[in-house]
Amino acid sequence: MADGLGWTGPVVLGTALLGLGALSILKGANLTIVPESLYLYYTDYRFGFVRRGLIGQVFAPLLDRLPRHLHEPLILAWHLATLVLLLVLLTAWAARIAARTGRDMRLMALLLFVSPFLGSLAFFTGGPDVLICLLTLAAVVALRRGRPIIAWLAFLAGMLAHQLMIFTALPLMLFTSLAAPRYRRMSFAGSLALGLVACLVVVLAPPADERLIDRFITNGIPPDTARLIHDLQLDQDVAGMSRRMVGLWANFPMQGMIAVAYGGAAGIVILAYGLVTFRAALPALVPASPRLPGIAGRVLAGLLALGAGLAPLLALALAWDVSRLASLCPFTAFLAVAVLAGQSPAQPPPAGPWPAASACGVLLVLFLCMPFLGLWFEGVKLNQVRPLIPPASLSVAPWNWVVQGVEAVYRSPAAPSAFRAPP
């Protein structure tokens, strides 16, 4: 390789990333499937079209034939299998790109794998996020190889599984289309049209059939929880959800910002580091024209990269799983930077600025040592209920003090507000 690593570069780096990623997963991995994840496997199209119905539609033929006590082991096995698949594919892809593009990209890759991203995916057992990330990675890789139809199929599958696909994949697909080796305009226009259709489906989808509530209850979800899941997850009203989120942000601003900082700090640093390091690649994404001078094109490309890398934060206008959604930012930010690195005219590019490398290194050490935290507006969750392995870092005094400090902030009373938070 040009930076002196030779053929062993991807192997050595991949081994390190695989080990760090496995450690991050073990921090968050647990054997508890909460009803807010379990319902997805019983939500299908038997009563008509419903948002988030694809996972249940795939699992329904099997679950209907299995005794109830085997459902959760099957879902747990699916969760762990897809998580391991994502870890292996992401490791192979990131190691190859990072080894080719120099020290800075290697630092960013290491930070991605120790950030809360993988631990959060592991913690929410049975949730849709692992599948969404797999399909997002597939869409980006397909577009980078000039295969937009595969990317669109991946997006459609993810969209039918969960609306989160709009926030993780769509901005990245639009950004990656600018770097596609062929069919660039078709890729961009097709991705944009598909995204608009997906947004219309979310807004105009018919109400979820109430018979799904009985199906949830039959499969072990408590009646009150089944009703809340139907009303707040499947039968979402966009305006109503936005009002609830305004109430939460108004009542718990400090708690919300701590959760965003914990989950998204690594993504923000990765994106800033990447934009500075690979800034020479920006003109290739939006070429200059008489209507768009060179500097305007670079600014536009930089804004598109910011939007693609931090798009999961936009979901916080509609959902209150704050650290869970913010923790997706390191993943989307790294994908955006990888697209930019692929367009760099120099391989490897000149070294990035030392302040960015230092910030990346500090966060790398911090997240490597920290235990997993799940942060909401009104509470903190640690991986202490049926963890795959005990959270050893909680027995270390400094980290125990940090966790206690965070818990103290979340126990403080809500700020007075004229807005109502959700029940």
For residue 194, the model assigns a pLDDT of 92
For residue 202, the model assigns a pLDDT of 82
The listed range with the strongest mean pLDDT (80-84, 160-164, 417-421) is 80-84
Q: Assign 40 a pLDDT band (cuts: 50, 70, 90).
A: very high
Q: Is the pLDDT of residue 296 over 50?
A: yes
Q: Is the pLDDT of residue 8 over 70?
A: no
Question: Mean pLDDT in the chain?
Answer: 84
pLDDT tens sequence across 403-412: 777 777 666 5
41 neighbors 63 (Cβ within 8 angstroms): yes
pLDDT tens sequence across 99-127: 888 788 899 999 999 999 999 999 999 99
Q: Is the pLDDT of residue 379 over 70?
A: yes
Q: Is the pLDDT of residue 170 over 50?
A: yes
The residues, any chain, with a CB within 8 Å of residue 413's CB and separated by 6 or more, are none
pLDDT tens sequence across 312-336: 998 888 888 888 999 999 999 999 9
| Least trusted range by pLDDT, from 41-50, 78-87, 153-162, 341-350 | 341-350
pLDDT tens sequence across 298-310: 778 788 888 899 9
40 neighbors 52 (Cβ within 8 angstroms): yes
Residue among 228, 247, 261 at smallest CA distance from 318: 247
pLDDT tens sequence across 335-371: 999 988 877 655 666 666 778 888 899 999 989 888 8
Q: Assign 418 a pLDDT band (cuts: 50, 70, 90).
A: very low
For the chain, give the percent of residues with pLDDT over 70: 87
For residue 407, the model assigns a pLDDT of 72
pLDDT tens sequence across 89-99: 999 999 888 88
Q: Is the pLDDT of residue 76 over 70?
A: yes
Bigger pLDDT: 375 or 412?
375
pLDDT tens sequence across 212-251: 999 999 998 999 999 988 888 887 777 777 888 888 888 8
HEC-encoded secondary structure of the chain: CCCCCCCHHHHHHHHHHHHHHHHHHHHHCECCCCHHHHHHHHCCCCCCCCCCCHHHHHHHHHHCCCCHHHHHHHHHHHHHHHHHHHHHHHHHHHHHHHHHHCHHHHHHHHHHHHCHHHHHHHHCCCCCHHHHHHHHHHHHHHHHCCCHHHHHHHHHHHHHHCCHHHHHCHHHHHHHHCCCCCCHHHHHHHHHHHHHHHHHHHHHCCCCCCHHHHHHHHCCCCHHHHHHHHHHHHCCCHHHHHHHHHHHHHHCHHHHHHHHHHHHHHHHHHHHHHHHHCHHHHHHHCCCECCECHHHHHHHHHHHHHHHHHHHHHHHHCCCCHHHHHCCHHHHHHHHHHHHHHCCCCCCCCCCCHHHHHHHHHHHHHHHHCCCEEECCCCEEECCCCECCCCHHHHCHHHHHHHHHHHHHHHCCCCCCCCCCCC
Average pLDDT over residues 274-293: 71
Q: What are phi and psi of 406, to 5 degrees?
A: -65, -45
Q: Assign 59 a pLDDT band (cuts: 50, 70, 90).
A: very high
**∠ at Cα 136 (132, 140), nearest 5°?**
175
